[in-house]
């Protein structure tokens, strides 16, 4: 019995000791809970930088260009070249150039302002300002582009200052050169030769082409006579000469006087269509050698050899050569001397001796250079 009590007490002691030990060790274990790392941030107030508002230009450069170019007639526009042979077209292009460039310093000043504004404030530029700034930064590019587009005008203005005839060059597109041969009749190509050759000898030395016009002191009065053996249609020559002489691409744009056909008696000068032999006789003491034409005193002598055959550098373009022949000799009568080819690939001046060669210039039958020079008081 006593032994049983001892066993019971021992068991109770062991249970109690185990319980106390468990509690002791349980309280001694520390549960580790991950502690999130926290960073202490101090929010600093970003200072508001106030910049001066961008000042947009008071002008719209694109509208200035568009409105200026819109005033140029369609007929005055040319592929590859601005230059028109009419005084009205020339005036329109010059006005456009003046309008576009007259405030060049204003454009440049605003360009510099926009450039500096962008460099200094690009971090703070508002989106609604960016488009206006970019537009202003393209002004110089656009201005230079249109100045180049009008380069022939600027060249003419420069020539006005240095008064050098050979320093100007006029370039025309192939289409413009071809269109220059349009004078309102197809007779330029045929040359007014009759289809039926009249081999009968004529008792008259000259055919004087009649005209119902009287002498007009406000115009150039000219007569026409033709050597009978040339077999030229006098009425055709009469019409063709009138169209060439009074074409706005021609001398009337220089002299500002038109040409009026009259009788030989009332004329100021006479166009003479002659054989090579008669040409040499009428041109003496000038040496035409049977192959050239001339202006001698008040007679413009057209050598039939050239009228029929043209010249080497014109190749087979007989229409352009006939325009050249009439306008070149008429230029001499009006006081213009010979000129040289200004630059290879440019059209040849009418006063160049194109029958002898064009030296790299494009053969041309109208007084383009003389028109330009006359407009600037040469």
What is residue 318's predicted lDDT score, i.e. its pLDDT?
Answer: 97
> Residue 170's closest CA among 255, 253, 90, 257?
90
User: Tell me, what DSSP letter sits at residue 152?
Assistant: H
Q: Using one digit for the tens of pLDDT, what is the confidence trace for 61-115?
A: 788 888 887 887 765 654 334 444 455 666 777 788 788 878 777 888 888 888 8
Q: How many CB atoms lie within 10 A of CB 157?
A: 14
362 neighbors 348 (Cβ within 8 angstroms): yes
Using N-to-C axis directions, what is the helix angle for 139-149 and 127-137, rounded to 10°?
30
Q: Where in the chain are the domains?
A: 61-162, 188-338
Helix (H, G, I), strand (E, B) or coil at 130: helix
CATH code: domain 188-338 is 3.40.390
Q: For residue 303, what are its two tokens?
A: 């050598």
Give 289-334 as a DSSP string.
Answer: TTT--EEETTEEEEEHHHHHH--GGGTT-HHHHHHHHHHHHHHHHT
Tell me the per-residue pLDDT of 12-50, one tens digit each, with 9 for 90 and over: 444 444 444 444 444 444 444 454 555 555 555 555 566
- Each residue of 268-279: b (16+ CB within 10 Å) or e? bbbbbbbebebb
Angle at 204 (CA atoms; ends 199, 210), nearest 5 degrees:
105
Residue 323 neighbours by CB under 8 Å, 6+ apart: 180, 181, 183, 188, 244, 365, 366
Q: HSE of 28 in the Cβ direction (CA atoms, 13 Å)? A: 6
pLDDT in tens, 102-135: 877 788 888 888 888 888 888 888 777 888 888 8
């Amino acid at each position: 019995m006593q032994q049983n009590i001892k066993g019971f007490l021992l068991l109770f002691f062991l249970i109690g000791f185990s319980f106390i030990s468990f509690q002791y060790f349980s309280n001694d274990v520390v549960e580790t809970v991950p502690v999130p790392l926290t960073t202490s941030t101090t929010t600093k107030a970003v200072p508001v930088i106030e910049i001066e508002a961008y000042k947009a230009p008071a002008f719209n450069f694109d509208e200035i260009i568009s409105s200026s170019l819109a005033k140029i007639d369609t007929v005055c526009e040319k592929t590859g070249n601005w230059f028109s042979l009419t005084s009205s077209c020339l005036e329109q292009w010059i006005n456009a150039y003046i309008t576009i460039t007259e405030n060049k310093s204003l454009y440049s000043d605003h360009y510099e302002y926009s450039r500096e504004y962008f460099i200094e404030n690009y971090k703070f530029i508002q989106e609604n300002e960016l488009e206006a700034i970019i537009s202003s930064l393209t002004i110089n590019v656009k201005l230079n582009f249109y100045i180049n587009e009008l380069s022939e005008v600027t060249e003419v203005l420069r020539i006005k200052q240095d008064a050098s005839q050979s320093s100007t060059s006029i370039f025309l597109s192939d289409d413009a050169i071809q269109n220059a041969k349009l004078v309102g009749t197809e007779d330029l190509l045929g040359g007014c030769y009759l289809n039926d050759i009249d081999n009968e000898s004529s008792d008259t030395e000259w055919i004087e082409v009649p005209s119902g016009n009287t002498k007009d002191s406000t115009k150039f009065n000219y007569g026409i006579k033709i050597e009978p053996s040339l077999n030229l249609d006098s009425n055709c020559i009469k019409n063709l000469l009138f169209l060439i002489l009074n074409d706005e691409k021609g001398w009337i744009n220089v002299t500002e006087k038109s040409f009026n056909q009259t009788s030989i008696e009332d004329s100021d000068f006479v166009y003479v269509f002659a054989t090579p032999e008669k040409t040499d006789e009428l041109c003496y003491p000038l040496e035409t050698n049977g192959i050239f034409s001339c202006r001698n005193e008040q007679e413009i002598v057209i050598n039939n050899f050239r009228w029929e055959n043209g010249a080497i550098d014109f190749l087979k373009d007989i229409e352009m050569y006939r325009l050249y022949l009439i306008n070149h000799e008429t230029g001499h009568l009006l006081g213009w001397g010979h000129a040289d080819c200004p630059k290879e690939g440019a059209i040849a001046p009418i006063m160049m001796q194109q029958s002898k060669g064009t030296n790299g210039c494009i053969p041309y039958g109208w007084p383009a250079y003389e028109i330009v020079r006359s407009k600037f008081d040469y």
